[in-house]
Structure formats: structure tokens, C-alpha cells
Structure 1
Amino acid sequence: MRSRNLGACFCRETAGEKIALIEPGPPVRQTTYAELQTEADAVARGLVAHGLTRGDRVGLMAMNSREYLAAYFGVMRAGMVAVPFSYKLAPPVIEHICRDAELKLLFIDEGQEPKAPGFVETIRLDAPAFEDLKDPGPFAVVEPDPGEVGMILYTSGSTGVPKGVLLSHDSQRWSLERGSKAAGDRCDAIYIVAAPMFHMNATISTKGAFWNGATVVMLPAFDARAYAAAIPQFGVTTLTSVPTMLALVAREGDALGGLDFSSVRDVTMGSAPLTQALIDKVQALFPGAKISNSYGTTEGGPSPFGPHPDGVPRPALSLGYPHPGTGAELLEGSGPDEGVLYLKNPMQMNGYNNLPEKTVEVVRDGWYRTGDIMRRDENGFFYFIGRADDMFNVGGENVWPGEVEKLLETMPGVHQACVVPAPHETKGMAPFAFVVPSPRAELTEDAVKQFALSNAPAHAHPRHVEFLDAIPLAGTNKPDRNALTARAAELVRGAM
């Protein structure tokens, strides 16, 4: 019987000497299942000896590494709560998280000391202090009570300070069990993880791989060329990523030097809107792979959708059909098949940390209001339209940035687009498009505008177009819409 503790979510049938983790380096470092679990036990024992007790919160603010994983799993094995968050956040935000979570200890790595608040004890994962903390020996994993919190993930805080999402061992285990059943035997799979471990995409992918006894190739952070090079070097079969990551890989084009990606069997892109243009580019990169569009939220679970129960083929842009045990309804729209997605399933959060009033705002009678606008087709497949918060009004007409982006990315020469609202003299707000051209493409602002006018309602066409070498990314590797919105406003006001 496998432990209910997320810190011990490893496949029991996997041989201890099988490689669990590969870090490309240089130098390449390989870690077996036995070694990783032994190190996690040593961390758990060390935390207890250090005076921490069950329920204490322990932060992780560092890049991806074997040490990070050992600390992450060790914290939960000891019955404590793991709190991963971004090292790229501003110091005031980091201080807010440390106070809000009431951290008793914070694991960091090189370069993070200046950002770490002085009121929290810190231990560097890449220094002797981490070795000193560990207490080698067997450890009896703490079996959590029903609903006991195992992890807190902080939201990106696009509308104020980040909120701590309380996630139980049970909720995440249900996700792993359901995901494993849907995917089938993955024991021979080799995953690649480059998204940060403070993001649900990376945490659930890593735990899912270990749950199935697979191998994870882990990069400390995302770099398009390093990511691409690691795929043939280690025979990667399974890619889970944010769409912008693979957009950056695809844009490398000739720079990839004819790398052999024939080992790749499955590519899943999620956590952000996906366009057909990007699917086509990714399919061209990995011609032998099955491409899947995924969806999930920190609060409502990592992937509530999957295959159709009657075997109906899943359309490329569809998120899938609700998994058994998942309720999915579309409300607040013009009809039953378009509106805000509400979810109800065992993967949901316990609530927001220290924010009961915010919890009540989004969870009613067990239903979580995602804030994502979707539509449902005649076969019951769901499609993402946009965030309710991202929609803006142009002279009385609603504009969904994601829909305009999908259109622009069908234009020859456009590799990627990000659309945000910008001030307009008569409309109040109007679309502003940031466009990354394809290599050697010759695009003009007027050509992009005319393409949009010819293929979409006039109110949705970009009034301004700015060309970029790359779309700036937030810490989660999604487009940094806040930064681009501010940049658009600055450019528009400067031109007035």
C-alpha cells in the first residue's frame, strides 16, 4: 500500500537502482530512486532534529535541483507543509509570503541571501549547511489526516499580493491516481522538466513521473537551446510545458542544428492559452508525437479534462472532456455551452491561507469559480476562450485577447503574438499587439493591422503593433501581460 503522503509518492514497484533524476549539468548528474528517497528521509529526520514539528511551514526559494527535490519531499514526509515560491519576486512580495505562510525555515540557493527576509532562518541547498541539516537513516513517513495540507502554492498575484493556495495530500494524490489511470503505463517514460518547481505544471509533472516509476530530466531553469539539446541527449519521450516554452524552442529553428527529436512520443502544453499555429509548429518539431492541450488551475486542480468516455477523437485545440469524478459547468454566459467555468472535484484547494473571505468569493457549495471563459461543443469537449479578467471593452464591444492572438498567429511571418489593452482617445481601450516575427520574416505594422481587419471584427483589430525579439515571460514562463500592458500604455501616451 502506497503512503498517502505526497512526500512518498514514489512508485513502490520501481527498482531502487533505477534512475529517477538526470541533471544535464555539466557535468551530468544521475540520481537513483533509492538515493533520492534516502536523501528525502535524511531531510525529514534533520528537520525534526532541528526542532520543527508536524504542520510547520517550510519555504523553498531556489532553482530546480536534486537538493530542491530532496528538501521538497523531505518536508512533506515529516508531516510539514512545503511552500515553494519564486526567487524572481520582488523583496516586498517575498517578505509578504514568508509572513503570510508563517515560515519556520526557508531553503534557498546561491544568490538568494539578499532577498531572504531576516526574520526567517535560511539554509542554502548548495552549501555545507544543507549537508549539516540532513540526518541519514530510516524515517517513518507521517501519514496525513484526511484533508491535511501538504503544500501551499502562491498565485502569481496579478491583481494584488499573491494568495496562498492550501493544497492537501488527498487532493494531489487524487490527481496523480486519476492521471496515471488515464495515461496508462509510463514506467519507461523519460520526462523533461524545466518549468520552475513553484509552479503546478512542474510539481505535478515531477510527482506524476515518480508515481509511475519514470525518469525525469530536470533543468535548473528554462533555456530554449539547453532544453532542446537535452531531448536527444537523454532520449526524452514526454514533454510537459507551458506553450511559450515550446514557442521559444520552435523559434530557434536553424540554431537547433538538426537535432533528432524522434524519441518524443507525447507533448502536453498547458497553463496558458494555446493556438493552432503553435500546435502546427510543435508538431513539425516532433512529428512522431501526440500533441495535447492541457488545462488546470492551482485552486481547482492540475488537469480536470481528459479523453472522451465514448472514444470520440479529441479536437486539437480542445482541453478535453471532464474526467470521471469531475463536475464542470459553464455559467454566467449567454447559454449552457459558453460562460465561466465552474469545477467541482476532489483536486480542489482547501481554501486561501488567511483569506476566508476570498475563499468564499470563489468557492460556493463545493463549486470553484475559475474565472476562465470557455465553450463546450456538441460532443462535450471544452475550449478555452480567455480569462474573464483579461477581457476588455472596446467602444462597447468585448475583446478577448486570446482570440486576437490566435488570429494573428495564422498570419504568415508571425511567430507569436500577445495582445493587451491600451488607452484609446474615443474607444476608451483598444487592442495593442506585441508581435514576434518568424526568422527572416519582413513584417510591417500596417500589414499586421490590415490582416486583422480583413479576418476579424473591426473593433478587435490592433490599433498599435510593436515588434519584439521575444515575448517577456513572468516567473511561471507565461507571457508577462502586466509588463506588456504597462509598456503599451507608455508607448501610446508617448505618441499622443
Structure 2
Amino acid sequence: MLNLSIVLEDSAREAPDDIAMVFGDLRLPYSMVNTVANQVANLLTSRGIGKGDKVALTCPNLPYFPFVYYGILKTGATVVPLNVLLTPREVAYHLADCEAKAFFSFEGTPELPMGQRAYEGFAETPGAEHFFILPAAAFATTSSVEGAETIWSALDGMSPVYETAGTAPDDTAVILYTSGTTGRPKGAELSHQNMLMNAIVSDEMFLRQERNVFLTALPLFHSFGQTVLMNMGFRRRATLVLMPRFEPGEALELMRREQVTKFAGVPTMYWALLSKIHADGEEVPMSLKVAVSGGAALPVEVLKDFHTTFGFGVLEGYGLSETSPVASFNQLGRPNKPGSIGTPVWGVEMKLIDAEWNTLEGTGPGEIAIRGHNIMKGYYNRPEESAEVLRDGWFRTGDIAQRDEDGYYYIVDRAKDMIIRGGFNVYPREVEEVLLTHPSVSLVAVVGVPHERHGEEIKAYVIPAPGTTVGADELIAWAKDNMAAYKYPREVEFRETLPMTATGKILKRELR
């Protein structure tokens, strides 16, 4: 018997009055979170849902998310968290693909009517039987989605006690959909053991503070936020300060007000926090002790700026949905190497391979392959695509890296983002790192665009630093002086913003 919901149940039993979540003026203790999760489990059981069934969840960072997430797990069913930005058509695709029997969705707002979109997608999916709306107004029994049952009316009369289903370590706990940058999104099947081991290993890597308060701005529907903030935080009996939508000024205010000790984010969040501090003279939150970055490579210039501003460094890690997600990290007790994703975490191995799966010795570059307790079972109902990336327990990531003599890995780029210009391989990240050292460049994304003669040409999309002016020709000339002839961008376009995913990653496919 091994069930991921133990991270909540154990804390509720041992520290029932400790505050699990802060949301606005709400302070919710562990006992209450577990009680509502038990009611959700009883509701699902009463509707005939249990072990082996799939239950989808669309919800930003609100108390609803853990209520429903752990409630689903307690029944032995599988949680399928969905991106909050999906259209009705995309919702229907995901529900049909994972064969969901039930679906919980937040009502949303007039600007982002996720409940209405979810209900329309649900209505198009023959196998989906039960739909519950999570109303925007606290404890409301009605919603703006006509015909939808609200969670509070459904939970009326449900017992606050539930005996968690016995699940095997290899039973599927969560299906996480990959962002679908190549083809249609695929569901990575992660077992109770995958998710629980990753939460435990992540927890053991950090010293326990007297107070553990986590700013939870990373979306909980994404693997990074789910493991490194929610599952790990609940195991540690930490307090999660929930932020439904990241905004740098509000994040800094919450850090100061709630005395936040840990922040985990993607590179664009760090860039936004630093930009806000420098532009508006915002006070640096002194309570912050740990900063973690993942999701994409953190530019070295941003790392340096953070260290200067906050007085300590960002710990970079690496992982994917398919690896539960944490695979490597700059770990305490070992030197932290800026720009590196560190070394494999406990119980995990990494190596470099070529296109034919052959192991590469030395520094590389090569594609990262990973083996260990964190590797997914496979892509749900996709044996052929699973076989392409899984072999003898190893998972090939599609990420190109180099390795130093101490065994630290450094991401070069995504294999699919590599630009081939006139027969030369150019890694966008390398070009971006150089451009970020220019005083007029605040943020940059480099992509390959079609070119008749060279196959691809290098183009940079640049957000200028506040109060600076630089022309495209001037920046191109500067780049030409600072990098090899085949690497520097021939085209520069200035933008006020760059397209990003809900998790804060720059969407390069929309720039190509």
C-alpha cells in the first residue's frame, strides 16, 4: 500500500492546527484541508468512481486544487491536472485522450471563463459522466455555468471521514500532459512511487527552517509546482502562500507580508522580480532563504543580478513532466555552480547519448538520458511513442547538455530548438546568454527563421531594458563583434512582451 495522499494525511494527523495554506485572508489548517479532501473522496465514491478511473482537474492556485487533488488520490483514482488556458476543443481532446470519467473545473472570471470552456469540452466527450464546478464565490451553490453542479452542493452531507484506498506503488497517481511542442500533447503516466519519491527526495535536499513558508506562484497543474511546492510542502508541514497568477509587485508584497522563506520559479519570474525591484525601488524581502529555478535554463546574467540583489544564489535544477519532475539539482553540501543544473538527485542516474542511444564519454555535448525511481511508466495509451523515448529503464529527454569533470551538467539547448545555419549548428541559448550581457537588453528569445540560402537564419526578439535605446543595426553590429560569424543574429525585432505559456516559459514556436 502506497498512496501519494499520505503527504497530506500524515501532516493532518501529526500537526492538525498548523497552517497548510494562506489565500488572501484565509488561513486553512492541515486538518481542514484533509477533511474537505475526504469529502471529495466520498463524493467520488458515491458516484461510482475509484481505482483505475481518471478524474480531470482545471484550477489555478486556489485552495480548491489540493482539496480535489488529494480527494481523487484517496479513492485510488488518477488525477489529470489540465492547463487553465485550454479552449473547449482542447479540453475535449484531453478528456477523451485520458478517458476521464469525471471533471472538476474552476468557474473562472469573465475574462477567463474556464468553467464555461470546460463544460463545453466535457459536453463533447462521450465517456465523461460527472462534471463539478468550483465556484469563484466562496461556498456558493450556484455558478455562471448553466446546468453544472457546484462542488459545495455536491459535497452537502458527505462524511468528513474516509479510508484511503490501498494502491500499489506502481499504480498511476497522476497523468501530466506534456506541452505538446511537438505534435499533440501526450499524457505522462506517473505512479504513486514516482511522485512520492520525488517529493521525499526534493524535501531531503533542503535544510528544514524553523519556519517553512513557500510562495506558491508556479501553477500547481504543472509538475514543478505540484512536486516542489505542494507535495513537498505538505510533507514538510510548510505553509503554502497561494498566488493564482504571478505578478512581480504582488509577489514581493506577499513575500514581505507572509515572511516567505522559499521561492521556486521559472527564469522569466526571476527576471520580472528583479526588473520590478530595479525599476520601482521595491524593498527586498529579507525572510527569503531559498530560491529554486527550473523549467528552463536561467541566464547567467539573471543569476548574477539575483545574487547581488538578494545576497544569496539561486539553486538551479532540471527535470521534465516525464521525470516526476526533479532529475538533477545543485545540492546543498556541494559547490553550487552558476549556469549548471547540478548533479543527479539521490536514486537517479544521468548520462549523455547520441541519436542512436550510444553512451557518450567525456564532456559531450550529447542528449541527456535519465534512469531511476522518477521515470514515468510511459505515455498513456501510446506504446509506440513510449518506446521511442524509453529503453532499458532509460528515458531520453531531447535536451542537449555538456558535463564537466566533476559530473555537473550544463544545458546547451533543446535538441528541437537548435538552428542549422549554412550547415553549422547554433544553440539559441548560447546566443541569448551573450545578448543578455548588453546593457540595453532586458530579455531575449532567439529562434531560427526560414532562409533561402542558409536554410535557417538567426533572429532575436528583444525586450529592451527600461530607459535605454538601441537600434537593431547597432545591436547586430555589437553581436557580430562578440560571437562567431555563423552565430550572431542577422535580424533583431524589439517587443514589449514575449509570448509565454501559463507556466512562464517563452513560447518560441509562436516566434518562428
Is the Cα–Cα contact under 8 Å of residues 314 and 381 in structure 1 kept in the other structure?
Answer: no
Equivalenced residues, count = 478
1:357 aligns with 2:347: no
Q: Secondary structure at the residue paired with 1:319?
A: coil
After TM superposition, give the deviation of residue 419 of structure 1 in Å: 0.5
Cα distance between partner residues in 2 of 1:308 and 1:249: 24
Q: 1:6 aligns with which of 4, 7, 10?
A: 4
Residues 409-458 of structure 1: per-residue CA shift (max 9 Å, x gap)? 11112111101111223211111101111111112112221222111111
Q: 2:297 aligned with 1:273, yes or no?
A: yes
Cα distance in 2 between the residues matched to 1:474 and 1:383: 23
Task: Find the aligned partners of 1:39 and 1:256 in 2 and give their Cα distance.
Answer: 41
- 1:18 and 1:414 map into 2 onto residues whose CA distance is 45
Instruction: List alignment gaps of at least 5 residues for structure 1.
Output: 486-496
> Which is further off, 63-72 or 354-363?
63-72
Letter of the 2:153 partner, please give it: D
User: Is the 8 Å Cα contact of residues 449 and 458 (structure 2) preserved in structure 1?
Assistant: yes
Aligned to 1:114: 116
In the TM superposition, residue 252 of structure 1 has moved relative to its aligned partner by 2.1
2:73 to 49, 73, 76: 76
Match of 1:133 in 2: 154
2:182 counterpart (151, 159, 164) = 159
Instruction: Kindly indicate whether the alpha-carbon contact (under 8 Å) linking 2:297 and 2:339 is maintained by their aligned counterparts in 1.
Output: no
TM-score (norm 1): 0.92
* Aligned residues of 1:42 and 1:136 also touching (Cα < 8 A): yes
Residue 124 in 1 paired to residue 133 in 2?
A: yes
User: Which shifted more, 250-259 or 173-182?
Assistant: 250-259
1:213 Cα deviation after fit: 1.0
**Whole-Å Cα distance in 2 between the matches of residues 161 and 186 of structure 1?**
42
| 2:492 alignment partner, one of 465, 485, 495 | 465
CA distance in 1, matches of 2:44, 2:437: 53
Matched, 1:225 2:249: yes
Question: CA–CA distance in 2 between the matches of 1:319 and 1:180?
Answer: 18
Which residue in the other structure is 2:145 paired with? none
Write the mapping of 1:13-24 to structure 2, written as runs, cut at 5 A: 14-24=14-24
1:147 pairs with one of 163, 170, 177: 170
SS in 2 for 1:393: strand
Q: Unaligned 5+ residue runs, structure 2? A: 108-112, 142-149
Question: Matched residues in 2 for 1:165 and 1:194: separation?
Answer: 23
Q: What secondary structure sits across from 1:55 in the alignment?
A: coil
Q: Find the counterpart in structure 1 of residue 57 from structure 2.
A: 60
Asked if 1:105 corresponds to 2:102, the answer is yes
Residue 308 and residue 182 in structure 1: after superposition, are their counterparts in 2 closer, same or farther (change >3 A)?
A: closer
Q: Secondary structure at the match of 2:449?
A: strand
1:127-170 Cα distance to aligned partner (Å, 9 max, x none): 42211222232111123113000100100011111000101000
Does the CA-based 8 Å contact 1:60-1:85 persist in structure 2? yes
**TM-score in terms of structure 2 length:** 0.90
Query: Which residue pairs with 1:494 in the alignment?
Result: none
Partner deviation per Cα, 1:63-87 (whole Å, 9 max, x = no partner): 2210121001110111111100112
| Distance of 1:159 and 1:102 partners within structure 2 | 22
Alignment partner, residue 337 of structure 1: 363
> Match for 2:336 among 314, 334, 356?
314
Preserved CA contact (<8 Å) 1:186 1:213: no
Write the distance in 2 (CA, Å) between the matches of 1:325 and 1:202. Answer: 21
State the 1:14 CA deviation: 4.6
Partner of 1:389, secondary structure, is helix
Q: Which residue of 2 aligns with 1:404?
A: 431
Tell which deviates more after alignment, 404-413 or 332-341. Answer: 332-341
**Against the structure 1 CA distance between its residues 308 and 125, is the aligned structure 2 distance closer, same or farther, given a 3 Å change threshold?**
closer
Local SS of the residue matching 2:55: strand
- Tell me how far apart the structure 2 counterparts of residues 161 and 53 of structure 1 sit (CA, whole Å): 28
Match of 1:234 in 2: 258
Matched, 1:179 2:214: no
Tell me, yes or no, if the aligned pair for 1:8 and 1:141 is still in contact at 8 Å. Answer: no
| Superposed CA RMSD | 1.8
Contact kept, 8 Å, 2:316 with 2:329, in 1: the verdict is: no
Check whether the contact 2:214–2:240 (CA below 8 A) recurs between aligned residues: yes
Q: Write the letter of the residue equivalent to 1:5.
A: N
Structure 1 stretch displaced more, 397-406 or 334-343: 334-343
The answer as to whether partners of 2:421 and 2:456 remain within 8 angstroms in 1 is yes
2:420 paired residue among 382, 393, 410:
393
